Amino acid sequence: MLDPAEELKELERLSLRRRMYEVESPQAAEIVVEGKRYINFSSNDYLGLAQHPEVIEAFRQGLSKWGAGSGASRLISGSLSPHLQLEQRLAAWKGKSACRVFANGYSTSLGVVSGLLGKDDVVILDKLSHASLIDGAKLSGATIRIFPHNHVGKLQSLLEKYKSHSGRVLVVTEAVFSMDGDLAALREIVRLKEEYNALLLVDEAHALGVRGTMGLAQELGLSGSVDLHMGTLGKAAGVAGGYLACEEELAELIIHKSRSFIYSTAPPPAQCVAALKALEIIHAEEGTQLRNRLWGNIQLFAKLMQMEVWPESAIIPISIGESKRALEMSSALREQGVIVPAVRYPTVPRNTARLRVTISAAHRREHLEALAKLLLDR
């Protein structure tokens, strides 16, 4: 039997050991760790809605009216009204007839992909798809095929190979890729999926509220061509939870075949109330203002860093290469009062370690200037 202590030592040797730390303040542009205040570039709260007073008040009112928990799985104890209200609004915003809300993004990916596919089906994933999507594909038992990141030529050759396949053929991509911050070649992917009559799942986790109100597919006018709109409510929406928006028949299959939906206690109703309020803000004029502020911050940081390629999202990776060096740089930044995580294998491929900078509408100019100076002086 492998000794856990020895395994941890090996992870340490490879600079791959992870450590958690306690944050003694709410998640925001500035946080307190061990009594010291830091500028925070690690959060996916892109619009700063986690600390929005209306979202907090909605959560408070939801707790007062609905209590702290949901009681059980929705197939056991029923759907509380906030679950249904959130689903109905998400479906409408996505232009679909139905929606299913999950406890979090990981359980959404896992449950949707493994629930809708089986051993007679094929799933074709972009190589940089999130781990949760890959895990769902593995769990499904379907034939898994990978195409190089955004390589539509390889995607076409795979679709050509399976064009007469009798089972489902599902193409999977993220809209904004979580570790690289770039966009899917969505127009080309949609064209191919329609040409070959495949299904398309787009994970909008890091695009919702950042690329338009509801993500990249909506921004490009392609919502109607995406069969499965997936995303989370714990990033730009600032709360928690995951969702799948699709047509009614697929949504019905979810409650019969998605194990993470069937066998999980439903999300707390107050969480759904708060998430709905956050989405309402995103769709209002205030949401447009927050998004403009976010993009102003992204563009300012790119200018300060003298970037030749303009960022396509709020995720800006600073390529380092070696895991040890990335850890050292993250630690050095922390000593200077700035938190930027070092992302290493297996989250990213070997020898592609990076600092993952995430920009928020809540950041101030001095925050961005401080980080840019430290990075340029490294």
Residues with catalytic annotation?
A: 44, 130, 174, 178, 203, 206, 235
Terminal CA-CA length for the chain:
43
How many whole angstroms separate alpha carbon 229 and alpha carbon 231?
A: 7
Residue with tokens 């995580």: 341
Of the candidates 196, 197, 214, the residue with the CA atom closest to the CA atom of residue 205:
214
Which ranges of 233-284 would DSSP assign to H, the alpha helix?
A: 248-257, 259-262, 269-283
Q: By C-alpha distance, which of 206, 227, 224 is closest to 215?
A: 206
| Positive/negative CA dihedral, 53, 56, 62, 67 | negative
The C-alpha atoms of residue 178 and residue 318 are separated, in whole angstroms, by: 13
Q: Contact at 8 Å (CB) between 100 and 252? A: no
DSSP state of 179: T
Q: Where are the alpha helices (DSSP H) in the chain?
A: 4-13, 53-66, 74-77, 81-94, 105-116, 131-140, 152-161, 186-195, 216-219, 248-257, 259-262, 269-283, 285-304, 323-335, 365-376
